[in-house]
Amino acid sequence: MTTLTAGADNAPSCERAKRGLTPIVSAALFLEAMTVSITAIAIPNMKADFDVSLAVLQWTHGAFIIGFAGLLLLGGRVADLYGRRRVFLISTALFGLASLIVALAPSLGLLFTARGIQGAAAAFMIPTSISILTGAFPEGPARNRALGTFNAAGAAGFSVGLVIGGLLIAELGWRWAFGLNFPASGLIVVAGISVIPVALGDRKPVKLDWFGSATVAAAIGTLTLALTLGAEHGFGVLELGLVAAAILLGCLFIWVEKIHAEPLMPLSMLRIPGLRRSSLASLTLLGAFFGFNLLVSVALQTGHGMAADMAGFALLPMGLLCVAVAQIATPRVMDRFDIDRVAASGLGLIALASVWLFSAGSLAPIWLVIAATTVAGGLGMGLAYAPLAVGAVRGVPRDRQGVAAGLQQTTLQVGGVIGIALAIAASTLANRPEAGLLAAALIALAGVAVLTRRTTFQPSAPKGAAQ
C-alpha cells in the first residue's frame, strides 16, 4: 500500500505514487460522465419497459441531479474532514451498488430512489477526486496536467456513453448499460486501495457542521426541483413557491455559517478571487452548454429524424475533440496564459457557436449542426472546463480544497439546470426552437464578463496559504 508523507513531495517514491493517482480518480469521473450520457439514451427504452410517459421518466435524470447538486458542498467538506482516500473509496463503491439497484429495479419508485443515491454518491466522489489531485500536486504545470487529464476523462466518458451506451442498449437492453457500472466501480475501488496514499485518509479532529450541511443541501435540492419542474411544466404557483423556499433556505444557510464555530463553508472563502470567479463562471459554463446541447439533440432527432444511437454517433466528433483539447492543448495553454483568460476563450467559443447555429435557423443543414456542436463542445468545453477547476482551488488552504471543489461543482450543476430552463423558456416564448440558442449565447457571454473584469494577474493568496 502506498504511503505519502508530508514534506516528501520531491522523493522518487512519492512521485511514482502521484503518477498512479491521476488515472484512478479520472476513471471515477469517466464512469460518472458515461452514466449521465447513457441515461439520456436509455429513457426511450425505459418508457417501453415501464409503460409510462417521457415526462415521468425525466425524473431518472432529475433524481440524480437533485442528489448530486444538493450534496456536492457537503461531499467536499466530508472529504476534507474525514479523509479523501476513505471518502473516495466508499462513495465509489456506493455509486456502483446504486447502479446495480438501478439495473435490477422492478418499479419506478426503486428506480428513482437508486438514481438519487447514485447522484448522492457522485456528489462525494467527484469533489473528493479533485481534492485528491490538488492535494498531491502543487499549483503550477503538474496540477494543470493532472486536472487536464481528469477533465478529459469526463469528456471521454460522456462521448463513450453516447456511442457504447447506445450499442449496449440496442443489443442487451438498458439494464445491462447500468449494471456494468457495478464491476467497473469495484475495479476502481480495488485499484484505489493500492494507489491512493494513506496520508489522504487521515481524520481531522473537527466536528462537521451538520445543520449548515442540511440547510444548503435542502436549498440547492429545492432550487433544482423548482427549475426542473419549471422547465417541464412552466413556472406556476408550485414552482415559484419552491424558488422562494430555496431562497429562504439559502439565507438561513448564510446565517448559520456566520455564527457556527466550524462552518461548512466559511463565508470568507468567497473573498478568495480565484474561487469566486471560477464559481460564478462555472454557473454560466454548463448553463450555456446544456441549453445549447439540448436544442442540438432536439434538432438531430426531430428536425433530421435521427434515432438516439445515430445522434450519438453524430456528436462523437465533439467528444473526441474535447478529449484531445482537454488532455493535450489546455494544460499547455494554462502554463503560458492566465487561466481565467483561457476559460473565457472557451466560453466565447460556446457563444460564437450558439449565434452561428441560431443564424442558420431551424432548417440548418446537418453538417452545420455538427460543426457548431464541435466548436462549442470540442473547443469551448475543452478549453473552459479544466481552467475553472484549477481556478477554484487556487490559493485555497489545503484543508478547504474539498469544499472549494464542491462549491465549483455545485455551481456547474445548478447552472446546467438553469440553462436548460432558460433555453426552453426562450424557445417557448419566441415560438421558435432556435431562440434558446440566443439564451445560451448570452449566458456564455456573462461568464466571459466575469472572467475578464481584471486586466492583470494577481495572486489569490499570500505565500504559504495553500500549505
Q: What's the pLDDT at 360?
A: 78
CB 300 within 8 A of CB 314: yes
Q: What's the pLDDT at 449?
A: 93
Distance CA 203, CA 80 (A): 8
Instruction: Tell me which residues of the chain have a pLDDT lower than 70.
Output: 1-19, 53-55, 58, 199-206, 231-233, 301-309, 311-312, 362, 454-467
Q: What is the pLDDT of residues 404-420, one digit of tens each?
A: 888 888 888 888 878 87
CB 109 within 8 A of CB 303: no
- How many helices (H) and strands (E) the chain has is answered by 19, 0
Q: What's the pLDDT at 369?
A: 81
CB neighbour class for 223 (10 Å; exposed up to 12, middle 13-18, buried from 19): buried
Q: What's the pLDDT at 199?
A: 65
DSSP code, position 270 = G
Q: What's the pLDDT at 276?
A: 87
Q: What's the pLDDT at 8?
A: 37
Residue for grid cell 415526462 = 55
Distance CA 259, CA 282 (A): 28
CB 457 within 8 A of CB 370: no
- Name the segment(s) of the chain with CATH classification 1.20.1250.20: 18-208, 269-454
Q: What's the pLDDT at 417?
A: 77
Q: What's the CATH superfamily of 269-454?
A: MFS general substrate transporter like domains (1.20.1250.20)
Distance, first Cα to last Cα, the chain? 25
Q: What's the pLDDT at 103?
A: 92
Q: What's the pLDDT at 205?
A: 57
CATH number of this structure's domain 18-208, picked from the four choices 3.40.50.980, 3.20.10.10, 1.20.1250.20, 3.90.660.10: 1.20.1250.20
